[in-house]
Chain A
Amino acid sequence: MGARIERVDTAAVVRGSLQGRRFNPGGLAFEASLLLMLLVSLAVLVTLLADIIGGAIPVFRDRGLDFVTSGITLDSDTAGVWTGLLGSVAITLVVAVVAFPMGIGAAIYLEEYAPGNSMTRFIQTNIRNLAGVPSIVYGLLGLAVFVRLVDLIGLGGSGSTAGRNVVSAGITLAVLVLPIVIITASEALRAVPDAIREAGFGVGATRWEVVRHHVLPAAAPGVLTGTVLALARAFGETAPLLVIGVATGFFSAGSASVFDRLTGTYTALPVVVLSWSRQADPAFKEHLAPAAILVLLVVLFVANAAAITLRNKYDRDW
């Protein structure tokens, strides 16, 4: 009875709040500063790239692919990256052979088999920590362990450089990227929905059958993407190679047998870049080093593109 209900003109209220958009200087300034940060970081990248490409252009203009297919010499007119490229590819192959099975196996154990207790969590945390260890530390490990190991098992070649070859370098870099492989493979396995596992167990499959037939195939794209990226990381790594005695000098691998190449002295593309940038002849520093960097970048770019293509092709919405 008594209380009078105040009538609100809803339409008028809505109209009032929708019209008359106000200028918001704080928001605008924030947006502008975010944009500025993006542009600055992009500018740094672009400058770097422009510098490298600018330095590399004369080399590719004058010599074309001859630069890629020539070996290392002291003569800046004929020196090329072929030896380094070969060494890097060989090292990366060793990395793949060692790190793939170990990394994927470890990830499968951690995700599918290990009990979910504090020990497992402790291990997982420390694998993440390992991924952050400076690469030079792995170089020291490689020098102390793998160089000797490779020599001991007879793959070390001979002479003062015994054990310092692509095998020990590959094993060292494999250990370096192992945490990355384990982490990415674990994430890919974890992304496979439990419903798939339940379906497998539900028809009487053992754990191994569920993993082998359902979980692994479903996780394969993610696992592959991660491992390709890990390989790219190994391909561009320099510091550990310097520690474990990559040859930065000049040597010929032209007529050597595969075994000799595997067990003998070697070099790698990033190390070639480093070596050239320290040469007295300015042609090395100003043109050949940027050209070698460009070759390195192209290889990494192709690897990343392959990883992205793989992921997009097989990516599944669960």
Chain B
Amino acid sequence: MNRAVTHDGEAAVAARGPGHVASRPISATVSDRSEPLADNPDIFKVRGLNVHYGEFHAVKGVSMAIRQNEITALIGPSGCGKSTVLRCFNRMNDLIEIARVSGSIEYHGVDLYGRDVDPVQVRRHIGMVFQKPNPFPKSIYDNVAFGPKIAGFDGNLDQLVEESLTRAALWDEVKDKLNGSAYALSGGQQQRLCIARAIATSPDVVLMDEPASSLDPIATLRIEELMQDLKEDYSIVIVTHNMQQAARVSDRTAFFTVDTEQTGQRTGVLVEYDVTSRIFTNPREQRTEDYITGRFG
């Protein structure tokens, strides 16, 4: 089963870009990292992932392994398919009727796209935070309590809501207005509420699709601190436009870009996937270097 990815650090599985250098074991080459990454086990193994939207080939041949208790950042220009890949991890693409996913994503060894896998169950284990804060038009309490309730949680719901909000660094700001509308919160607070909502179901992985792109720098900073705190218990995959953010928060970074084929069709491909510090200081691929140094074009 482990033919594409091995556990000892060969996580940097490549895209099929022309002239791509075969990946090397990270542990052997990384010397510029201040503290070595713990050798965490893989949680997702992506092999040959292709996503089509109707005739449009959105993502081509992505293979990568995502590790437990790490923050993995997916970066790249608009249209490179990074959000599409993220949405494959919790089968959110199922909701788009014309989307077709091929290849495989193994989650704890189970093929997420297997025949007998219920996407609803997948999403209970793999939570999601969206680009624009999208609280339910309900009270703060109900926003957090909804997920556990439908999952059949029969413990102390009040306590769970408090814990989730505390974990999302929002409790002190909202504890006196739990029954107030979630829409009365600021954008940054709403996004933290969405994080609280995502972790209330005790997921294993939290997917974040540009969670700070609509927030101001202070709210962004809070979310980033929160992510560092959360990775103790969760594995986080984050899509971001903001390279500084990826550099600040993530342990590993995958750089995607857009390949324009001869037919003019544009397809997202994974160019390089490695430990974040290497991607930003010593990328192997010219295209990665061009992008992170701002010479992308």
Interface membership of A279, Cβ < 8 A:
no
Give the residue of B121, B132, B138, B201 whose beta carbon is less than 8 angstroms from that of A203.
B201
A115-B97, A198-B92, A198-B95 given as contacts; is B134 within 8 A of A204 (CB)? no
**Which among A68-76, A79-87, A206-214, A288-296 touches the partner chain?**
A206-214
When distances are taken between beta carbons in the complex, the residues of chain A under 8 Å from B201 are 203-204
Chain A interface category by residue count = 20 to 34
A36 within 8 A of B: no
Q: Cβ of A196 < 8 Å from any Cβ of B?
A: yes
**Chain A, 283-309, CB within 8 A of any chain B CB:** none
Q: Is the CB of B134 within 8 A of A213?
A: no
Checking A202, A213, A218, A316 against B123 with a beta-carbon cut-off of 8 angstroms, the contacting residue is: A202
Is B146 in contact with chain A by the CB < 8 A criterion? yes
Task: Return chain B residues, CB-CB under 8 Å to A204.
Answer: 120-121, 123-124, 147, 150-151, 201
A251 at the interface (CB under 8 A from B): no
| Nearest chain A residue, comparing its CB with the CB of B123 | A204
Number of B interface residues in the complex (CB < 8 A)? 26
B136 touches A214 (CB 8 A): yes
Which one of B90, B95, B150 lies within 8 Å of A209 (CB-CB)? B150
Please name the residue on chain A nearest to B97 by beta carbon. Answer: A116
Provide the bound-state CA to CA distance between A121 and B135, in Å. Answer: 31
Contact with A along B129-158 (1 / 0, CB 8 A): 010101111100000001100110000000
Contacts of B92 in A (CB 8 A): 198, 201-202
Query: How far apart sit A201 and B124, CA to CA, in the bound complex (Å)?
Result: 9
For B150, the chain A residues whose CB sits under 8 A away are 203-206, 209, 213
Q: Do A218 and B137 touch (CB < 8 A)?
A: yes
Residue of B nearest to A218 (CB): B137
Contact flags (1/0) for A183-208 with B, using CB distance below 8 Å? 00000000001011111111111100
- Which of A193, A203, A218 has the most CB atoms of chain B within a 10 A radius of its CB? A203
Q: Given the complex of chains A and B, what is the CA–CA distance between A201 and B135 in angstroms?
A: 13
Task: Check A196 against B137 for contact (C-beta < 8 Å).
Answer: yes
State whether the Cβ of B128 lies closer than 8 Å to any Cβ in chain A.
Answer: yes
Q: Are B198 and A202 in contact (CB under 8 A)?
A: yes
Residues of A within 8 A of B147 (CB): 203-205
A196 to B121, CA, bound (A): 19
Nearest-CB residue, chain B, relative to A316: B137
**What's the nearest-Cβ distance from chain B to residue A197, in Å?**
8
Give the shortest distance, in Å, between A176 (CB) and chain B (any CB). Answer: 33
Q: List residues 107-127 of chain B with CB under 8 A from any CB of chain A.
A: 120-121, 123-124, 127
Q: Which residue of chain A has the shortest Cβ distance to B143 in the bound complex?
A: A199
Task: Decide: B123 and A199 in contact? CB cutoff 8 A.
Answer: no
Cβ-defined contact, B137 with A201, below 8 A: no
B67 at the interface (CB under 8 A from A): no
B197 at the interface (CB under 8 A from A): yes
Q: Is B269 an interface residue (CB 8 A)?
A: no
Some 27 contacts from A to B, beta carbons below 8 A apart, are A115-B97, A196-B134, A197-B95, A198-B92, A199-B130, A199-B136, A200-B136, A201-B92, A201-B95, A202-B90, A202-B123, A202-B127, A202-B128, A202-B130, A202-B198, A203-B123, A203-B147, A203-B200, A204-B120, A204-B123, A204-B124, A204-B147, A204-B151, A205-B120, A206-B120, A213-B146, A214-B136
| Chain B residues close to A by CB (< 8 Å) | 90, 92, 95, 97, 120-121, 123-124, 127-128, 130, 132, 134-138, 146-147, 150-151, 194, 197-198, 200-201
Chain A residues close to B by CB (< 8 Å): 115-116, 193, 195-206, 209, 213-214, 217-218, 316
User: Which 5 residue pairs spanning A and B have beta carbons closest together?
Assistant: A204-B124, A203-B147, A195-B134, A202-B128, A204-B123
